[in-house]
Each structure stands twice: as structure tokens, then as C-alpha cells.
Amino acid sequence: MKLEDAFRPVSAELRAVERELVSLSQGLSFSSIKTILERFFTTPGKYLRPALLLMSAKAIQEKPEGQTLRKLLLAAAGVELIHNASLVHDDVIDEDLERRGQPTVNAGHGNRIAILAGDTLYSKAFSIMIDALPKELLRDIVELNIHMCSAEVEQEKVRSCSEPVTKETFLSINEGKTASFMSVCCKLGSSLAGGSAAEVAKLAAFGLDFGMAFQLYDDLSDGDSDCADLDVLSEARRFASAARADLLGLGPSVGVKALTALLDHLVEKAGN
């Protein structure tokens, strides 16, 4: 299963998200920040989080239109901005000099500008979501950011400590920095598309399990799994199976098919 094939059912919407992001960059007030951030708007990453959001919406409604579609596109652009903000800050923390084949913001402009650039992306996310999303969903996003930042702090503490990290702490960091975000994406998409509480809960659970499997496979491929206590591969497989089970009971739809294809791609890419 190729990633492009998995993404096909939401490719038209993802192009609209891309256009939304390009037009947003025009609204920045100073030319230097515009230049620094331009590439985040014009050379997109994989768009995995917007894709999860849109696929979850299509698990509820085959063809969202009108105001619902507009809200979904703004939410999808918002999560991509938050993701980019977190990567800009993450590269400062990790002192990484390259991402997506390009110098990181910290490599090109220094840490001080990179922190401000990340804050700008993060604030832009809220500026586009604030009028489009209901208060409860905005609260979920704020809580998510608290969770992500707290998990990053925990990770820093664990890395600087000589004690080996426990399995529970390792998994809770992965949940906080990656899986909770994917869960919120699935929740946003399914909620905005009008899913029932039970449907939204199933898709949020899918996002969480998918995100855990995603981060564990990523840790394996980076050789980053600093938890001796854990068989990372079998844990990744366990979360991938749980994600598959979360989709049961949702009924067949374009969205469920796309989410299944995305999961197949993740598992196949890891060679399992």
C-alpha cells in the first residue's frame, strides 16, 4: 500500500488545505518572518495530521460540503500549523540542523528566531481555528498542547537522568508527544462531520492507537528506542492491531477504508 494511494480519498481536500496555508502566509506583517516561514506554507510535509482529520470526517460523512467542509479545511490547516510549530521547537531542543532535506529554522536563523517562528506558527493556528471551531474542540487543542509540552519536558528529564526509563514512562511520553495529537485530529474531523459520541470515541481511540504504533515504528527506524524494558516491535504491532479493532463497528465508508489503508501502509513500511 503506497502512501499516495491511502491519501487519494482526501487529496482534493488536502490541496484546498495547502491553498489555505499559502494564503495565510500573505497575512504576516513583517517581511522577515514571511521569508522565514514561507517554506512551511509552500513546501508541505506529508500532511499526515490533516489527512487523519479529513479521513475521520469521511468515516462519518462521505462528502462533506458547505460550512462543514469549510470548518474541516480550517481545522486541518490549523493542525498542520501546530505540527510545524512543534517541529520548529523540537529542532531547537534536539539541536537538529536539517529537516525535510532543508536546514532547520534554528540552523538558518539561530535559536532565538526559531522559538519566535514556532510561536508565530502556533498562534496562526489559533487565529484560523478560533471562529471555525466550537469552544469544546478548541479546549481539546489547548489541552493537547499542554500535554505535548509536558511530555517533551518529561523526555528531556528522562534523557538527562542516568536511571533507565521504565516502560510506562516511555509509553506515556510517546502518547503525549505524538499519539494524543493524532487522536485529537481524528476527534476534530469526526466531530465536525457530525459523528455521534460513540463514533467520535471510536475514531479518537483509533488516532491514539495509530499514533502509538506510528511513534514506536519511528523510534525503531531512528534507532531511538531508549527503553531496554520494552520489545518495541511487538508493542508497535500490538498498537497497530488495536487501531484496526477500533475501526470495527463503524460501518463501511470512504473514510474507514482510507484509515485502514494508512494503517496498512504504516505496518508494511516497517516490514511487518
Question: Closer CB to Mg ion, residue 20 or residue 219?
Answer: 219
Q: 27, 248, 61: which is closest to 13 by C-alpha? A: 61
Answer for which of 10, 36, 82, 247 binds ligand FPP (CB under 6 A) is 82
Binding of Mg ion by 154 (CB under 5 A): no
Question: Closer CB to ligand FPP, residue 131 or residue 222?
Answer: 222
Q: 197, 269, 261, 254: which is closest to 9 by C-alpha? A: 254
Site for ligand FPP in 112-171 (CB under 6 A): 118, 122, 145, 148-149, 152
First to last CA, the chain: 13
Please report how close the Cβ of residue 207 comes to Mg ion at its closest, in angstroms.
21
Question: Closer CB to ligand FPP, residue 122 or residue 254?
Answer: 122
Question: Closer CB to Mg ion, residue 62 or residue 94?
Answer: 94
- Beta strands, E only, 7-147: 98-99, 102-103
Binding of ligand FPP by 85 (CB under 6 A): yes
**Distance in angstroms (rounded) separating the CA atoms of residues 151 and 149:** 5
Answer for which of 49, 71, 177, 244 binds ligand FPP (CB under 6 A) is 177
- DSSP annotation of 99: E
Instruction: Give the CB-nearest residue to Mg ion.
Output: 94
- Cβ neighbours of residue 240 under 8 Å, at least 6 residues apart? 209, 210, 213, 263, 266, 267, 272
Stretch that binds ligand FPP, among 61-69, 93-101, 185-193, 241-249 (CB under 6 A): 93-101
